[in-house]
Structure 1
Amino acid sequence: MLRVRPIHSTSSARSWERLLTALGMTGGEDDGGRRVFTAGSGRLVLRQVAAGSAEDGTTAFSVEVGDPAEFARRTNLAAQAGTTRTDIAQADGDSCRITAPDGLSFTAEKAPRTVPLDGTDPALAVVGVWFTPDPSTAAATLLHIGARPRPVPDNDETADFTAKNGGVLLVRPASGHPRGGFGFEYDGCLEHLRERLVTAGFSPTVTEEAFGSTLHVASPDAGAAAHAPESVWISLRHPMR
């Protein structure tokens, strides 16, 4: 199994919880400063950190799998048969760590037996983003771990994938060190979601782009974390996706 589950470190966890709830996510287990939120498709971890720390406002690329040891074994076999190399740290029963050819290191953690979806908005999907100067090998790594390619509107360096058990994975070209990011997709009426956010006290804006509409909401990290994006994006799922 494979499920998208980025880990977002923040000193503004309470504000994030309010936004995620308004988006239609539900909060679940609280594990020592980490709280997991579930969407209709995919999950997101909020990790509490000190304000002004280097991690504040950053996102770690991460996934959930059924059996980390078996996942590590199969991923190693797939990588050996392919054209890129993926280093797998020893699985400890709860997680394993994958280091991709571009240097990005991410965890695959053991998924819970069941994920309660009561109260979640089924139209909301968590999107994990892999920013990298080497998008082709990042895309190959995602194929190795079982992500499913989906069509993209442009024939460029971007790559889109879905995870069998929930969520979306994107590869996007970027300069500098590879890093993670996240956003959301919505497979429903974006205007209804906008109205829900307004009712909850937020001030979302809508941008019309070549392949659909996107909602933008001010990030709870804006102004508090030096390198955090200014807004959180929720894209309308395009028919091609």
Structure 2
Amino acid sequence: MLRVRPLHFTSRIDHWERLLTALGLVLTEGDGGFRVFDSAAGRLAVHSVPEGDPLDGTTTLAVEVGNLAEFARRTNESAAEDGNTPAELVTADHGDACRITGPDGFSFLADPAGHGAQCADADPALAVVAVWFSQDTDGAARTLRHVGARPRPVPDSDETADFTAKNGGVLMVRPASGLSRSGLGFEYGGGLEPVRERLAAAGFQVSMTEEAFGSTLHVANPDATVFAASVPATVWISERRPMG
């Protein structure tokens, strides 16, 4: 199995819960400093940190899998054609995990799934999106294929790549200058008006941009006041239109 489940660090965890609930996610684990929210496709874990902590406002790419050893074996077997072994079983601060490292040096963890099926009460059209920004977009895309992510068509034949995870969520590769990093967003399968209405009803200010391949909602990032220079000002929700 493979499910997208980024980990977001914040000193404003209650603000994030209010935002995620308005977006259509449902709290399924925890109620204190560590909480997990389900969408219909993918999850988001939110970890509380003190204001001013270096992690405050950052997101770490992460996934959930079934059996760690089997996941590592399959990933390395798939990557053998590239002459490397990107998956390594490790003991992280929170327990056993598998670390996957790309050719650009960027790494992320695969953790055992905390619970099985996605929450049936989540908005069925909403998906969690994890983004891998890299100078080596080809290498990042190959690594995601090796872990079992499924490529899907993208509207532009540029340095971008999109993937879906078998058990929920979207993984994107996007070009970036400087060090590789991860990002967070959401995707909605259809018109964005239902999300916009929920966000407005919850007191959030929302703006919309129209782009060639769909619309995108932007809502104020609860962490934006923490480090204005390094934290994105908004959280984005993109409209997912079927590729014709």
Q: Same fold (TM over 0.5)?
A: yes
239 and 116 in structure 1: CA distance in 2 versus 1, 3 angstrom threshold: closer
CA deviation profile, 1:64-100 (whole Å, cap 9, x unmatched) = 11111110111111111x2263432225584211111
| 1:3 alignment counterpart | 3
Q: Contact 1:68/1:91 (CA < 8 Å) preserved in 2?
A: no
Q: Distance in 2 between matches of 1:169 and 1:84?
A: 24
What does residue 213 of structure 1 align with? 215
Distance in 2, matches of 1:198 and 1:165, equals: 30
Aligned to 2:89, the other structure's residue is in SS state coil
Which residue identity is paired with 2:23? L
Aligned equivalents of 1:126, 1:192: Cα separation in 2: 17
Note if 1:83 corresponds to 2:82. Answer: yes
Structure 1 residues 88 and 32, CA gap change in structure 2 (3 angstroms): farther
Partner of 2:140: 138
Aligned match of 1:39: 39
The 8 Å contact of residues 85 and 101 in structure 1, kept in 2 or not, is answered as: no
Once the two structures are superposed, residues 126-162 of structure 1 have per-residue CA deviations (whole angstroms, 9 ceiling, x without a partner) of 0010011100000000000000000011110000001
Which of residues 214, 229, 232 is equivalent to 1:229?
Answer: 232
Number of matched residues?
240
1:176/1:141 CA distance change after superposition, 3 Å:
same
CA contact 2:75–2:86 (8 Å) conserved in 1: no
After the TM superposition, which of the residue ranges 221-230 and 162-171 deviates more from structure 2?
221-230
- Residue 59 to residue 113, structure 1, CA distance change in 2 (3 Å): closer
One-letter amino acid of the counterpart of residue 153, structure 2: P
Q: Give the aligned residue type for 1:62.
A: A
Alpha-carbon distance in 2 for matches of 1:210, 1:89: 40
Q: Which amino acid aligns with 2:89?
A: Q
Q: How far did 1:204 drift?
A: 0.7
1:84 and 1:101 in contact (8 A); partners too: no
Q: TM-score, length-normalised on structure 1? A: 0.95
Give yes or no for contact 1:86–1:101 (8 Å, CA) kept in 2.
no
CA offsets 1:9-64 (integer angstroms, 9 cap, x no match): 11111101000000000112128732111001100010111111111111111001
Percent identity of equivalent pairs: 61
The TM-score, its normalising length taken from structure 2, stands at: 0.93
Structure 2 segments unaligned to the other structure (5+ residues): none
CA RMSD, Structure 1 to Structure 2 (Å): 1.7
Displacement after TM superposition at 1:118 (Å): 3.1
Q: Which residue of 2 aligns with 1:127?
A: 129
Q: Determine helix, strand or coil for the equivalent of 1:70.
A: helix
The Cα shift of 1:119 comes to 2.0
Q: Is the 8 A contact 1:61 1:106 kept in 2?
A: yes
Range 223-232 or range 204-213, more displaced: 223-232
Write the letter of the residue equivalent to 1:232: V
